[in-house]
Chain A
């Protein structure tokens, strides 16, 4: 079956703009989590959605937001982009409420100039 799909793969934005990233989980998976990866901070948890509800949230400013649709697809939005938001954004999906393994997508590489 198809894996986790993230679009777009690469993105270049200008400071002050906003961006929306998309994640399609594995079919049947209801939990979607988002992570930011930078060379300085490593992999950091952003938030998790389960059945359209945000269940966990990491320590990121309110400029970072997300949502999940009834088909489990998820989007994350970053408003008022800063140079420091340049990162690899990863999405992971899990099948169960009590998660076993999480399957990650290939990520979206965001560059803010």
Chain B
């Protein structure tokens, strides 16, 4: 599975959009980009995933660059409850092995 690079931490003001970048320059053509988050001492929570096209669901939007070497997770209106560690993962669709990096600690501040 391809490796990912994320900033160790980010701050965001409550109510503003949080934009979390991820670099995955060695991604292969059949690898998907997944995002999970983990709130302190809880199990990771799935957010969104995509292959080539931008994706949006009720939680977030995922923007993948045309060359697929990087992506951005967007939380449109961050709340204090969005404070968590966010993990960007790239993996093949087959199988359910997730390789987690260090993630980004997002702190949403009032």
- Which A positions have Cβ atoms within 8 angstroms of B? 4, 31, 33, 35, 42-45, 48, 50, 55-56, 58, 88, 90, 92, 94, 97-107
Judge if B49 is at the interface, Cβ distance under 8 Å: yes
Between A and B, 30 residue pairs with Cβ closer than 8 Å are: A4-B43, A31-B96, A33-B96, A33-B97, A33-B98, A35-B98, A42-B101, A42-B103, A43-B38, A43-B98, A43-B100, A44-B100, A45-B98, A45-B100, A48-B97, A50-B95, A50-B96, A56-B95, A56-B96, A58-B97, A92-B98, A94-B96, A98-B94, A98-B95, A101-B49, A102-B46, A102-B96, A104-B43, A107-B41, A107-B42
**B93 pairs with A104, CB closer than 8 A:** no
Main secondary structure of the interface of A (DSSP, over half): strand
For A94, list chain B residues within 8 Å (CB).
96
Judge if B99 is at the interface, Cβ distance under 8 Å: yes
| Inter-chain pairs besides A48-B95, A55-B95, A104-B45, 14 sampled, C-beta below 8 Å | A42-B101, A42-B102, A43-B44, A45-B100, A56-B97, A92-B44, A97-B94, A98-B95, A100-B49, A101-B34, A102-B46, A106-B42, A107-B41, A107-B43
Q: How would residues 76 to 96 of chain B score, 1 for a CB under 8 Å from any chain A CB and 0 otherwise?
A: 000000000001000001111
**B97 pairs with A45, CB closer than 8 A:** yes
For B101, list chain A residues within 8 Å (CB).
42
- Which B positions have Cβ atoms within 8 angstroms of A? 34, 38, 41-46, 49, 87, 93-103
A88 to B98, CA, bound (A): 16
**A42 pairs with B96, CB closer than 8 A:** no
For B100, list chain A residues within 8 Å (CB).
35, 42-45
